[in-house]
Each structure stands twice: as structure tokens, then as C-alpha cells.
Structure 1
Amino acid sequence: MGKNFKMVAKTLYGLEELLAQELRQLGASAIETGTRNVSFEGDTGFMYKANLCCRTAIKILKPITAFNVFSEEDLYKRVYDMPWENYMSANGSLAIDATVYSEQFTHSQYVAFKTKDAIVDRFRDREGERPNVDLDHPTLRINIHIDRNICTVSLDSSGHSLHKRGYKTESTLAPINEVLAAGMIMLSGWSGQCDLMDPMCGSGTIVTEAAMIACNIPPNLNRDEFGFETWPDFDVDLYERIEDAALNKVRDFHFKIYGFDKDPVAVKKAKENAKNANLQDFIDFEVKDFFESEKETGRQLYMIFNPPYDERISVADISKFYADIGSTLKHGYAGTQAWMITSNMEALKHVGLRPSTRIKLYNGKLESKFVRYEMYEGSKKEKKQ
């Protein structure tokens, strides 16, 4: 499979340790966690496997060089001097993503523009023709990261963000990111050991990710393409062997996953998305108002949901809405471990239950708390005794 090289997996804030654990279980070495990223080492086959199998990764980057930059002229010259013909041809296409944390470089789009100019000029000067820019389906997606005066140039092996699993063709007003949904499930400790419910399921992201976790199905199995598939050295036979090996680890699931929503349109969309992922047999969807529901079995239940925050989805009385969540959990869901994420800290106070866990996450740009409520059978005092 070739020798190992360094890679960087990008993730969401609060999911770094989960991603490091995923990479460790897949067989990565030299793992180091950062903020919103995990660096590691592996070979080409492992790069394919990480893209296919990591639930909490957004990108898998392959750094190819790093250098000091003190001006835009430095950046242009150093990028121009790189052997880009090893990575793509003049009749190919490229896209550049840039992130900057620097006093000298303050505009990421300008950095991306200068990088593009340098690559295009090198091809034109050497070969008389130049690659085009294609932001949607480029031959090569390049990542530029400038931290103060250090510029790291990486090849983006993922292409589009890995949260775009390929199954979600129908969306509701405020859908949760697939990587965040998977991370929440993993943080909760649920891996298929009992029933799971999302009582406000929207387009079904949480329950669909849960079904994949329960059955150990690779999260990115339904994607149309990865970035590495257009690289000159792409080994399709190796990728197919890795995909087959991952599919051989799929397991049975013997409990139930429930997705409820009071909006019939949302439930219809959720069903369609689950069907796209070939997971419709594992999830029971139903049009149901959570506030008029109760637990239907005596079995242990995990509940994970993303209620409205009164941000993208407005609620007439958000305080009462959250109070009703607490009341419904208390009176209808004994024997349940309930987790929910919200950015509305004021509304959260009205739940009227004391969370046993609070984890800081971000839902998009919204700083949020992922909280757990333990709904015991009988009193908490009896449970402890």
C-alpha cells in the first residue's frame, strides 16, 4: 500500500476526541488532537478508508509542503515553484479553499485568488495552456492554511465536505449537520444497545445516522465521489478492496429506532432520506406530537433530538415550549436517557430538570449545549438505593 504520510482530519468543535478515537480504531498512527482537527499518519489505503468510514470528519487533507510567507509575493512565488504537473494536468480543473490566521494575510478569498494565479501561470508558462476553475467538481481541490507566517499547502482528498453523505435529498428548514448528528449520538454513548428515538426528527438526520452507527455501515458509502478519485495516482482496485472490507463489518441491529415529527411534510422527507440510505427497514417514522406522546415499551430508551432554538425556526412562546419538553419527559418517559442540543440557554432553564451532563458544541455558528437528562423509573433516590 506504500509508505505512511501525515494527514489532517478536520472536524467540528467538541468532536476532536471522538475523531481521534475513530482514527485509532481504524488503524491510524501518530495521532494528535488540535482544535477542530486531528493529525495522524497512514498510507494511501488508509486515506481512502478514513474518508469512507470516519463519521466525525469533515475533511481529510494531505499536506504536501509548508513554508514561511511574509507577503503576497512570497505566497505567489512559493506556490508557483511547486510541481503542480505531478498532481493534475493543464486541461484539468481546480478549486482552492483558504483559511487564514495572520496579521499579514487577512482575507482568505484573496489568498485563494493569489494561489490560483500562481498555479495557472505555471501551467501557462510551461505548457501554453491552463487549468480552469471549477468549484463544484474540480480535478484537484487544494487547501491553503496560513497560521501567522506559516503556509501549509494540502491536497483535499475528500472533495465536498464529508457531512454530505449522499442520502439527504430532502431537507427541512433547520436541518442538523450529519457530522454533528453522528457526533451527538457517539457522545451520548449509544451504539445500538437499545431503542433510540428522535421525537422532533425533521428530515431524519439523527435517526438515519443512528441506523448507520447501529449497523456499522460506513457513513460515506452513498457519496457520489471523493476528491482523491480524480487524482492521477487513484488506485480504484485498492479503494474497492477497502470498501468491501468495510462492508464485511456490517452487523445486525435488534432494537428499534423511532423518528417522530408533528409535521407530515417533514416525516415524508425523513422517510425519503432514509430510503436513499437503504435504511428504511431500521427506522419507524410517524406523524406524532411529542407533547402528546409517552414511552410505549418498558425497554430502555435513548432519546436524542434537536428542538427549535427560536432562531431559524420561530416558536410563539419558547419558554413554554421548553417547559413542555421537561414536563413530557418527566411524566411520559421514565427509564429514558434524553439528550438534546440547543443554543437557547435562557429557554433551557425552563425545562425544569437538572441536566446530568452539559457538553459545549456548535450547531453551525451557534454556540450550543448538548445536555443529558436521566429520567429514572420511580424516584432518583430509589434508583441510587
Structure 2
Amino acid sequence: MEKFEIIATTLFGLEEILAGELKDLGATDIELLNRAVKFEGDKALLYKCNLHLRTALKVLKPFAKFMVHTDNDLYRKIKKIDWDQHLSVSGTLAIEATVSGEQFTHSQFVALRCKDAIVDKFRDKYEERPSVDLDNPDLRLNVHITDLNCSLSLDSSSTSLGKRGYRQAQSLAPMSEVLAAGIIALSGWDKKRDFYDPMCGSGTFSIEAALMAANIAPGQSRSFGFERWKDFDANLWSSLKREAKEKEVSPTGKFLGSDLDTRAVEISKSNAANAGVDHLIEFKQMDFLKSDLHFNNGFVFLNPPYGERLKEVDEIIPFYKEIGTQLKHHYEGCEAWIISSNIEALKFIGLRPSRKIRLFNGPLDCKLHKYELFKGKKGYQAKKN
């Protein structure tokens, strides 16, 4: 198969994790970018990326690059492209634009000019034109302009890869599937040791971990933009999905999720069932701060309230102190990973982090802290690397 350039976008701080995933899938000429990874691959790899990648948001196929000086220049150059290769006159189209620089400053205006050029091209040729469908188009086009450099890419994912399809219900302030998968990958969890999410919310941490351990492709139960492309190879796609299904395994570790909120527990159970991993995860209603679980030698992942979800900001400091106390007394031999945007509150965990990683949870600038717990002379402490 012919090889071509592909770009996979991701969240800040997950670029190296994504590059590792791509290497495992067989990508070559891998290059880290800002919130993205560029690489070489063929059509099969493009399909595999959408099916298997856990820390990617979109998989883009660049196909045109040129200089643009004005919006009229952009219109003319877009109109020159042979759009019949990518879209039929009766098809639907959506355009996403990102711009930076002094010449082009409004992404929506750029998207509109590109749309006008494409539909005018078809109207001039056929006296008909494609229509716009922002939700489920036959072709989603990505336009990226930096200063005067314009790059066009076909969006093979269409909908974000973070939308696995299992989270049909969610609690307040849910963590994205991509961020949860990225945090688990950053932790180095071996997919065998027991896994616990004490404040499970929508169950995302536990579900992503179970999908990883069972080697279930995250894109197995959803559709992608490339399935509506003119050159879509249905036989190849069916073969890749069948191959992925055959590689699923039965995990050996235990998965536990809990939450103080009964509704959150029910939502987590429902989402786990949608993901096909409800038989692997035990969800229970439980107050982590008052529990006596004695969960030893496993991995604990916490996405506690940052302050935005508490009625009074003054509650956050004692709350984080209690988290640290609970970890000290009941989680011997565990690794605890806590993400929060409240950097001040994290200082009151009372344990010394052995690793600090900057991430973003949506628009919130966060820190991910790793705590290695062991029993020392003064009780449970955090081991310093």
C-alpha cells in the first residue's frame, strides 16, 4: 500500500504516550508536535489508528499545502482543488478551521470562505452543490493556517476519538476518555495489578483501564469519517476489526470503582455495560474517606473535586488532607495518582509526590501527582525517588 503523511492530535502532555501507541501500531518517521504527532503510514494504518488509539483526539490525512496572502487568495486556491476526488455533488460537508498569525484572525470566516470555494466549484461544474452538515458529514475538512501557511487535511475520525460511545450518561464534570487513558498510560500500570477509582463519577477511569487490560479496541463499537470517503475499503476495515476482536483477552487483575453518590455508581455501571466491561468492574456506593478497604499493592487513581464542585472553597483543604490520611492508613504498597487543578490543595495531601506532570482537564491547568506508598517508621509515607 502507498504510504502518506498522517497527523494524530492529542491533549497537552500526552504526545509521547501517543507516539508510543503509534510505534506499536507500526507507524514510521514519528515526529512529536505540539499536541499532535506526525508520522508515515498507509490506509491500513490510518484505519488502525482510529480503531486502536486511546490517547488521540483526531487522525488527519494532510493532502494540500500552500501559501495564502488574502481571503480571496485562499478562495481561489481552495477552488482550484479537484474536490470530485473527495466528495460527490450530492454529499455533505463540514469544515473546521484553526488560524494563528496577523493576516488570518477569524477561524469561522476562514471556514466560510473555504466552504464557499468548494460549493462554488461544484455549482459551476454541475449546477448543483453539496450541502453543509456539521454533525454527520460525508467529508469533514480540517483547515489550518499559521501566518501565511495553509494546510488542508481530511479528518478520518470526524467525531473525536475521545467519544468512544459508551458514556451515554455522565456525572458532573466528567473526565474525558482520552485524558483518563493518558493518565493510566503515564502511570506505567502493567494491566495486571488491581485497579481502584475511589471517586468514580461516570466510571471513566475504571472503564478505560478495563478496556486496556482486556485489549478491547476503543473504536470497536463506533463509526468513523473515513467510512464515508470515496476510497473506503470495506473489506480491509472488516478484516482489521475482526483481527482486533480476536486479540481480546481476559484480564487477571481486579477493577473497583466507588463513589459517595449513588447516582454516580448507577451511571458508572450503565456506562461499563455499554463498553462491554461491566463483568470486569465492581462498582459500589462507598465514602472513600470513611472506608476501611485495605486495598494493598494496587494502583489508585483519584480525580477529586478541585473546588469548582464544592459548595464552599474553604472545604477543599480539609478534604484533601483527609484524602492523604486515608491513603496513608489503608493503601500499603500502592501507587496513588491524583489529578487536580487546585495546586494549593494538592500541597495538603501530606505525602511527598515522586512525580509531577502538567496536564489539562478541559480548560483547567492541572497537575498529576504520583505517590508511592509504603509502611515506614512513622506509618504510611510517600517514597521519594
Question: TM-score scaled to structure 1, two decimals?
Answer: 0.96
Aligned partners of 1:30 and 1:41 also within 8 Å = yes
Matched, 1:126 2:125: yes
Matches within 5 A, 1:237-252: 237-252=235-250
| Aligned Cα root-mean-square deviation (Å) | 1.5
C-alpha distance in 2 between matches for 1:383 and 1:350: 17
Residue 309 of structure 1: aligned partner: 306
Matches within 5 A, 1:52-63: 52-63=51-62
Aligned residue identity for 1:174: A
Aligned residue identity for 2:276: N
C-alpha distance in 2 between matches for 1:222 and 1:341: 29
Structure 2 runs not aligned, ≥5 long: none
Matched, 1:101 2:100: yes
Aligned partners of 2:351 and 2:382 also within 8 Å = no
SS in 1 for 2:213: helix
Q: Tell me how far 1:381 sits from its aligned partner.
A: 9.1
SS in 2 for 1:167: coil
Aligned partners of 2:328 and 2:381 also within 8 Å = no
Structure 1 runs not aligned, ≥5 long: none
C-alpha distance in 2 between matches for 1:294 and 1:370: 25
Aligned partners of 2:7 and 2:62 also within 8 Å = yes
C-alpha distance in 2 between matches for 1:24 and 1:191: 18
Say which of 282, 285, 291 aligns to 1:284: 282
Deviations 1:93-134 (CA, angstroms, capped at 9, x unpaired):
000111111210011111111111110111111111011110
C-alpha distance in 2 between matches for 1:318 and 1:276: 33
Identity of aligned residues (%): 50
C-alpha distance in 2 between matches for 1:252 and 1:58: 27
Matched, 1:68 2:67: yes
Question: TM-score scaled to structure 2, two decimals?
Answer: 0.96
Matched, 1:300 2:297: yes
Deviations 1:214-253 (CA, angstroms, capped at 9, x unpaired):
1111111121x10001001111110011111122221221
Aligned residue identity for 2:281: I
C-alpha distance in 1 between matches for 2:282 and 2:312: 27
Residue 111 of structure 2: aligned partner: 112
Residue 38 of structure 2: aligned partner: 39
C-alpha distance in 1 between matches for 2:8 and 2:247: 23
Q: Tell me how far 1:315 sits from its aligned partner.
A: 5.0
Residue 174 of structure 1: aligned partner: 173
C-alpha distance in 2 between matches for 1:381 and 1:168: 36
C-alpha distance in 1 between matches for 2:96 and 2:54: 22
Aligned residue identity for 2:157: S
Aligned partners of 2:324 and 2:349 also within 8 Å = yes
Deviations 1:73-98 (CA, angstroms, capped at 9, x unpaired):
11111101111111011110000111
SS in 1 for 2:376: coil
Aligned partners of 1:68 and 1:149 also within 8 Å = yes
Residue 326 of structure 2: aligned partner: 328
Q: Tell me how far 1:296 sits from its aligned partner.
A: 3.4
